[in-house]
Amino acid sequence: MKILFPYGEKRSNIFKVVKRPIVLVDIWSKKLNKFLTYSFIVDTGADYTLLPKTIAKDLGIDILKDCYMYESKGIGGKEQVYFLKKKIVIKIGESKRQIPIGFLDRDDIPPLLGRQQCLDTFDLIFSKFTTTFSS
């Protein structure tokens, strides 16, 4: 399986435009009993996949019952993360994975696709503003 995603563009205060590796990921919603599609930034610096808190509701996840609190430290400082106790099913193209995810206690960040049991399971190529996933 090989799937290509063009970079997305976003306006920047420092640069006029920043291009980012964006991928469409389907996540299983137990609430709706179907996959929901979200745009993620491919973040090879993220240990695991992170989502904004509002997506938990779409997926039928009660962050107080289904998750445990974890304090994460990164370039932006400390953040409270609600880490899902069970792995969640995702699809990138036709490739399914069960991955660990966390929800940030805020909604002003985009979904970030991280390495743990996700990006580490693909061959990734970043070239000419295109991200290629191969499995």
Q: Does domain 2-134 have CATH number 3.40.630.30?
A: no
Grade residue 75 by pLDDT with cuts at 50, 70 and 90. Answer: low
pLDDT averaged over every residue in the chain: 94
Model pTM score = 0.91
C-beta separation of 112 from 104 below 8 A: no
Tokens 């409270």 -> residue: 80
100-128: pLDDT as tens digits = 999 998 888 899 999 999 999 999 999 99
**What mean pLDDT is predicted for residues 62-66?**
95
Average the pLDDT over 89-105 and give the result.
96
Distance, CA of 51 to CA of 56 (rounded, Å): 8
Q: How much is the pLDDT for 130?
A: 97
